[in-house]
Chains A and B, each alone.
Chain A
Amino acid sequence: MSLTKEESILEVRNLRTSFFTDEGEVKAVDGVDFSIEKGKTLGIVGESGSGKSITSLSILRLLQEPVGRIKEGEVIFKGEDLLKKSKKQMMAIRGNNISMIFQEPMTSLNPTLTCGEQIAESIRIHQKLNKKKAWEKSVEMLKLVGIPSPEKRAKQYPFELSGGMRQRVMIAISLACNPELLIADEPTTALDVTIQAQILELIKKLQEDMGTSLMIITHDLGVVAEMCDKVAVMYCGKVVEYADVKTVFTDPKHPYTIGLLNSVPKHDEDVEGDLAIITGSVPSPFNLPSGCSFAPRCPSAKEICHATLPELAETSDGDKVRCWIYTDQWEKEGEAVSRHE
C-alpha cells in the first residue's frame, strides 16, 4: 500500500505551519504527512479550522508571512523539496507545475481585468507567448471549460459573469499551463448545488484528459466519494486517517471519521429521531488538549488518549490511522474515560 517515491508526484512529510498572533502561536498544521500519486486524486477532509486550506497554501508557500510560517517539514514535488526553493523558483512553479483553484469565485478574480487577460497572464509568464498568442490560448481555454461564446466572454469582466462561470474561468486559469498538480480548495462550496455537480464533473473530465494529479480539499464527503482515490481526514491540524476512498466509506477506523460518516444524512433510510452528531466542539486552537486532540469528544477514549498523542501508524490492512485503538497498547488500558465538557 505504501507508495514508492517514483509513483508519487507530491509527498508532504511532517509539515508544520503556525500562525503567530498576539494571543500566541496557532499550530494550524501540526505534522501532516500524505502523498499524491501521478494522475490520482487525494481528498483532504475535515471541519473548518482543521488546517486543510493552510496545508494547501503551505505547499505553494502562499502564506502571508510573517504571521503565517512553515516551521518544519518537507514538500517533495517530483523529488525536490519546495520548501528549499528560492522565491524565483517558486514563482516558476506556481501556476505552471502546480496550480490552485480557490473557494470563492466571486472574490478570487481581479475585478479590474478581463477574464481573458487573467488567463493570458499566466500563459504569458510561463509559456513566454506573445500577447496575441496568449489571448488566443485563453479563448481556447474558456472554450475547453465549457463557456459559451468564449471570444465574447474573454473580453468581459468578472462581475459580468455568474458564480459558476467565474469558477470555470478560475479552472481555465489554473489549467492554462497544463499543470502536473492541481490543488482545488473547496472549489464548489460557494456554488449552487446544481452548479456544484457541473464544476466537479468538469474538473474530473479535464483531470482525466490532461493526466493531472489532483488534491481536492473539501468538507463534503459526497465530493470525496465522487472524486477521490485516497483520502486524508484532518482534525486540529493533524491527519487522523489516511486511506483508500473505499476503505474510508466501508471500514472507517478513526472514531472521528466514523463520527463524520454517521452524521451524513442517508436518503435511503427512514429518518427516525435526530441525526447522529459528534458531541462537544472543536477545541480552541490556542488551547489544544494534551494527547489526542479528539479525545475529549471521543466515545471510546481511555486514559492514554488524554495523556499521549498516538502516531499515524499503519494498520493491518495498510491504511494509516492516528488512534490508540489500533495499537497493541489498547488492550492493556482500562475502561473508557469520558471527559466531555
Chain B
Amino acid sequence: MFLYIVRRIFQTIPVMIGVTLAVFLMMHLIPGDAAKIMAGENANPEQIEQMRENLGLNEPLYQQYFSFIGNAVQGDLGNSIRTSRAVTSEIFDSRFWITVQLALVGTVLAVIFGLLAGIISATRKYSFADVSLMVIALFGLSMPNFWLGIMLIYLFSVNLGWFPVAGWGTWEHMILPAITLGTAGAAIIARMTRSSMLEVMDQDYIRTAYAKGVSDKLVIYKHGLRNALIPVVTVVGLQFGTLLGGAVITETVFAVNGLGRLVIDSIRAHDFPMVQGTILVCAVLFVVVNTMVDISYRLLNKRIDLN
C-alpha cells in the first residue's frame, strides 16, 4: 500500500510538467504581444522593449520555460500587474483558502445528500420516494449555477432574510454558495449511487449475506454500499475539480473574494501573471485531489492491480 502511494505520487510528475507547460505556453499562444498589453496602451516602444526584457521574452522559449519552472517551485509566480503584489501572496493570503473551503463544504454537502438520496432510491426502487428523488436530482442537474444562486439569494436572503445576500466571513455566508456549488454534484452522486447500488444488490454475494442471517441494514451498508461506492468515489473526485471551476461563477454571483473571482478580475485587467498563477494553482490542486481519490479507490477496491 505504501509503495502504491509513493508510486502514485511519482506518477503525478509528468502530469505536473504537462500542466506547467500548458500554462506557460498560454502566455505565448494568446494573440497579441504580451509585453505590449502589459506595458499598457500608452507605452512607447522603449517601454515595451523594457517590459519585454523584464519578462525575459527575448530569451529562447525553453530557457523561459525553465526559469518559469525554477521560479515556480521556489514559490515565485511573478508579480501581479494590477496590484504589483506577488502572485503567490495574492492567491494564498486568503483567496485560495476561501475557494478551497467553499469547494470542500460544497463537496461534503453533495456527498451527504447525494449518497442519502441514492441509497433511499435504490432500496425503494420505483417507490414514490425513489421517483421524486430522481426527479429532484434531474432538476438539480439541469439548473445552471448562476440561476440557482440568484434564486437562492432571492428566496432565502431577500424574502426570508435567513442568510446574507453576499460576501464572506461567517458560516452563514458559506451556506448558499456551497449549496449552489454542491447541487449538481449531489444530483450526479445520487444517480450514480442509485444505479451502482441497484447493480450491487443483485450480486450473488448479497444473497450470501442474507443467507448468513445478516440484517437488511448491515447488508445494505456493509455489503452493498461498500461495493457500490467504488464508482461513486471517482465521481466525487471529479466533482471536486468541477467545483473549483464552478466557483468562478458562484463566487461572482455571491461576491465572494475567492480564486474564481480573482481569475475573472485578472482576465478583465489583462493581468497575465495573475491568471497564469491562479490557473496553475487550480490545476495542481486538481491533480492532488485526483491522486487522493485514486488512493482511496485502492483502499475501497482491493482488486485494483497494484502494478
Contacts and interface: CB of A to CB of B under 8 A. Distances in A.
A109 B213 contact: no
Contacts of A109: 205, 208
Contacts of B227: 110-112
A92 B212 CA distance: 9
B301 A93 contact: no
B207 interface: yes
Contact of B211 (A94, A107, A112): A94
Interface in A315-335: none
A60 interface: yes
Given A111-B302, A111-B303, A121 B211 contact: no
A91 B217 CA distance: 12
A128 to B, nearest CB: 12
Contact of B204 (A92, A94, A104, A113): A104
A95 interface: yes
Contacts of A249: none
Given A62-B211, A125-B212, A110 B205 contact: yes
A122 B303 CA distance: 24
Interface residues of A, number: 27
A159 B204 contact: no
A218 interface: no
A125 B301 CA distance: 25
Interface string B117-142: 00000000000000000000000000
A125 B209 contact: no
A126 B211 CA distance: 12
Contacts of A94: 210-213
Given A110-B223, A112-B300, A159-B302, A95 B213 contact: yes
A91 B204 contact: no
B203 A122 contact: no
Contacts of A113: 222-223, 226
A95 B205 CA distance: 14
A92 B208 contact: no
Contacts of B303: 111, 157, 159
A247 interface: no
A102 B76 CA distance: 63
B53 to A, nearest CB: 61
Nearest to A119: B212
Nearest to A56: B211
Contacts of B215: 91
A94 B214 CA distance: 8
A54 B223 CA distance: 23
Contacts of A29: none
Contacts of A173: 208, 212
A96 B205 contact: no
Given A104-B204, A108-B204, A95 B302 contact: no
A113 B223 CA distance: 8
Most A Cβ at <10 Å: residue of B205, B213, B223: B213
Interface string B202-238: 0111011111111100000011001100000000000
Interface string A294-322: 00000000000000000000000000000
Given A62-B207, A159-B302, A173-B208, A112 B213 contact: no
The 4 lowest CB-CB distance pairs between A and B, nearest first, are A95-B212, A95-B213, A94-B213, A107-B204
16 contacts: A91-B214, A95-B213, A95-B214, A96-B213, A99-B212, A102-B211, A108-B205, A109-B208, A110-B227, A111-B227, A111-B302, A112-B226, A125-B212, A125-B213, A126-B213, A157-B302
Given A91-B215, A95-B214, A170-B208, 4 more contacts: A62-B211, A108-B207, A108-B208, A121-B214
